[in-house]
Amino acid sequence: MVKSHQEILALLPYTKPFLFVDEIIEIDENGVKGSFTFHEDLDFYKGHFKDFPVTPGVILTETMAQIGLACLGIFLLGDEVENLTIAMTSTNIEFLKPVYPAEKVVVISEKKYFRFNKLKCEVRMENEAGEIVCKGEIAGMLIVKNNG
């Protein structure tokens, strides 16, 4: 079974500049908590918005999916994670506060169910002040490709 936080991070199917996970703070069969800092030099800040950069909602959703769905899914699959593909199947996210460049966020995800390799989670993102910036549900399929 995959236990190490570093092992889970190494198994994520993302790399920079599209990796939005800095660390896993805690993880178990019921959920995960992780963090990411949105560095000021990220490309999307150059055009979103002109002279007033704000993190796009789609990037906030992706960050919640990478921490709350992908990391948790890798943990839940245990040793079955080789050749893993993750496909988001649905989202329902409410955006409450903006996230600016240089902000660190924490994502907290609670498993609603995991069956037939479909994972659905209740997810929220908090800023450093502990305020919820967005929240909702994310679901996805964890597909293990055969080598044969």
Q: How many domains does the chain have?
A: 1
Which structure tokens are listed for 41? 């030099």
Instruction: Classify residue 87 as exposed, middle or buried by CB count within 10 Å of its CB (0-12, 13-18, 19+).
Output: exposed
Q: Is the peptide bond before 101 cis (omega within 30 degrees of 0)?
A: no
* Residues 126 and 132: beta-carbon distance below 8 Å: yes
- pLDDT for res 146: 66
What's the pLDDT tens digit per position in 68-80? 999 999 999 887 7
Helices (H) and strands (E) in the chain, counts: 3, 6
**Catalytic site residues?**
48
* Amino acid sitting at position 17: P
Q: What is the 3-state secondary structure (H, E, C) of 114-143?
A: EECCEEEEEEEEECCCCCEEEEEEEEEEEE
Asked if pLDDT for residue 137 goes beyond 60, the answer is: yes
Average pLDDT, the chain: 93
Range of the domain at 46: 5-144
- CATH number where 34 lies: 3.10.129.10
- pLDDT for res 143: 85
Q: What percent of the chain has pLDDT over 90?
A: 79
Q: How far apart are CA 133 and CA 110, in angstroms?
A: 17
Residues 6+ apart with CB under 8 A from 84: 11, 13, 73, 74, 77, 142, 143, 144, 145
Give the lowest-confidence range in 36-45, 91-100, 117-126, 137-146.
137-146
The count of other CB atoms within 10 Å of the CB of residue 104 is: 13
**pTM greater than the 0.85 cutoff:** yes
What's the pLDDT tens digit per position in 7-50? 999 989 899 999 999 999 999 999 999 999 999 999 999 988 88
- pLDDT for res 95: 98
